[in-house]
Structure 1
């Protein structure tokens, strides 16, 4: 084979044509797949590469499921957040059955009979298989206001005829733990998003100024970042959370914790923006924008930042788990969110006593969604980072 022959796309390697018949730079000879790839936008390329990362793709679907659930928490939870069942204090998880006497009868639960063990001073619950309760769907239950606006009493599932359904058991006040985990997800998952928004704004603004101007501005910003990063994060969180007045309302405490998390996590974002802008500010299009009289804020916002926004988004998805863990740790130690606000950290606060965990191990179940969400965010962040990397 001489150098004047090239393989024709779509044909076996043994079939060759001369360069007069095939021009590799001719658009007309591209296959539909090649044409779709070469003319795809950056978003499409990132999305195609992200879908190939199976772990990251399924992690994104899991997170999407969680956020859909918290959007309709009142409807999905079988009980209202503060609903107490005085006859079911520290009740263990209740199993759902589908077959009775070898026949499929649909989802149902057995009646529970409570007894008191005087030797262990512990409540015991036994199933009365003679009495069953059907699990209904889209049925009436506790009243609520969806998104605080729409009054309703419809729930995704509930027990008919006055029975109880505690999928994950109850706490010391007889409140359904499954419902409280769903309501707590709304706080724990949104606090990370708001905190990242705060750190995103601070990181891009401060890091952008340091990277664009350089010199003494860069030196001041770098020294400030080094000082903040040298302080252990958990003691600093505890100190800032402890100075919040106890008279603040739960809403103010929520926003206070969010701002604390955002103010302490912007340093990594600022350094990423600064390092990228130091290299991009020497490009020709930046010089052209300066000669046309564009202001530095416009050059940074309209020309420099969009060039690596995909990397910033990937970094933000990795930062969110840190903030969720920060809120969980503060609330677990009693210095974060406080009742009546419910988050996963607040729920885990009840599991601090080891004797309670030994007697009622289901109280530690709120740690499961924390682990799942943290892993999902990390895997999705890794997939986005690889997909957004132009050198991959």
Structure 2
């Protein structure tokens, strides 16, 4: 069977492409993977610009007239008297003590609180160095009760949307950084075991087996309990990062060792040694780059696992602590009062939907990358 000139040219172009170019072409054909990638871009942009997207501080962290688990604030767009369209507004609310339960309850009044966009409020810094004080929306009203709680309030009467936006910074950062740390440790330890062998290989593999033999949840709780509960909240986040990275490198080290044991005997490694390349150069410049495609796929699939681990830690009360918050610690408030309380305040489950959405997007992206780098799935 003869090939036409266009087919021959297409074949020549494909032969001249790099592995990443071919993988990118395959990835672009996967709609689910692209959907997951776009979803992750949006969720990370949300975390990056959380201070701007959150309402002004007057409607987010007011300590006056605190109402536990305040329901979502209805936003009105029509004048109740004339029915004409008007500036969006919310009704001012007040608190009334229920003498039966001795709990403050939300009561709406007839007073209007207009909603403005581009409200000047509390100062913040994006990425830690870009100052700003502009918020997407808010009432700009200092009077107590003129708050905009689009998805309701949490246990201390603070805006749940604001808390969820700021929690995304903690959950997403811990997930990514912990995976990067564990990936670096796993690659380094696996490369040492494969390259040097002998006693080095034995010690590293026995350490991996010890870590794998201990149940993950028990190990997490044990490591966290070593540190006091009243330490600096920032230090707690670093401790969580270290714990997650420590328990996650073993599997990658095993795979790296197995892959590099075969690579170590390849001709290009022998040639590099014959030319006088040092052990470090042979390991980092010749052997480890063969793991690139595997690492890309593994990282994309491991990040959601670490996000779920961090959320589980926070849900159990051994993760992020005040004033910092994660999706898991917000979700822990849903268990107050048992399952019966969810009928009266279902909005407390909203942080859980952010976890599900993010993990789902990572899974779609990871599956797409795995298929793109798999030569058996290429046409």
- For the aligned pair, the TM-score class normalised by the smaller chain equals 0.7 to 0.9
Query: Of residues 291, 296, 317 in structure 2, which corresponds to 1:334?
Result: 317
Could you tell me which residue of structure 2 aligns to residue 8 of structure 1? 4
Query: Of residues 118, 121, 131 in structure 1, which corresponds to 2:99?
Result: 118
Could you tell me which residue of structure 2 aligns to residue 295 of structure 1? 278
What are the superposed Cα offsets for residues 226-269 of structure 1, whole Å, 9 maximum, x if unpaired? 22111100011000001112342111111011001001100111
| TM-score (normalizing by structure 2) | 0.87
Q: Which has the higher helix share?
A: 2
What are the superposed Cα offsets for residues 142-200 of structure 1, whole Å, 9 maximum, x if unpaired? 33334444443211222355632101111232211100111111111111122112211
Query: Of residues 16, 20, 25 in structure 2, which corresponds to 1:43?
Result: 20
What are the superposed Cα offsets for residues 111-142 of structure 1, whole Å, 9 maximum, x if unpaired? 445444434545443555x5544432222123
Q: After the TM superposition, which of the residue ranges 248-257 and 153-162 deviates more from structure 2?
A: 153-162
Cα 1:187/1:75, change in 2 over 3 Å: same
Query: Of residues 357, 364, 367 in structure 1, which corresponds to 2:352?
Result: 367
| TM-score (normalizing by structure 1) | 0.85
CA contact (8 A) 1:56 1:381 kept: yes
Equivalent-residue separation in structure 2 for 1:359 and 1:40 (angstroms): 59
Equivalent-residue separation in structure 2 for 1:135 and 1:309 (angstroms): 50
1:384 matched to 2:361: no
Could you tell me which residue of structure 1 aligns to residue 119 of structure 2? 139
CA contact (8 A) 1:184 1:342 kept: yes
In structure 1, the gaps of 5 or more residues are 11-23
Query: Of residues 199, 218, 226 in structure 1, which corresponds to 2:209?
Result: 226
1:19-38 to 2 correspondence within 5 Å? 30-31=9-10, 34=11, 36-38=13-15
Tell which has more relative contact order, 1 or 2 (C-alpha 8 A, sep 6+).
2
The size of the alignment, in residue pairs, is 368
Equivalent-residue separation in structure 2 for 1:330 and 1:114 (angstroms): 34
Cα drift, residue 103 of structure 1? 5.1
Q: After the TM superposition, which of the residue ranges 178-187 and 64-73 deviates more from structure 2?
A: 64-73
CA RMSD of aligned residues (A): 2.6
CA contact (8 A) 1:350 1:363 kept: yes
Equivalent-residue separation in structure 2 for 1:125 and 1:36 (angstroms): 67
In structure 2, the gaps of 5 or more residues are none
Q: After the TM superposition, which of the residue ranges 341-350 and 273-282 deviates more from structure 2?
A: 341-350
Tell me the SS of whatever aligns to 1:378. helix
Equivalent-residue separation in structure 2 for 1:227 and 1:177 (angstroms): 41
Cα drift, residue 272 of structure 1? 1.8
1:280-319 to 2 correspondence within 5 Å? 280-319=263-302
CA contact (8 A) 1:86 1:174 kept: no
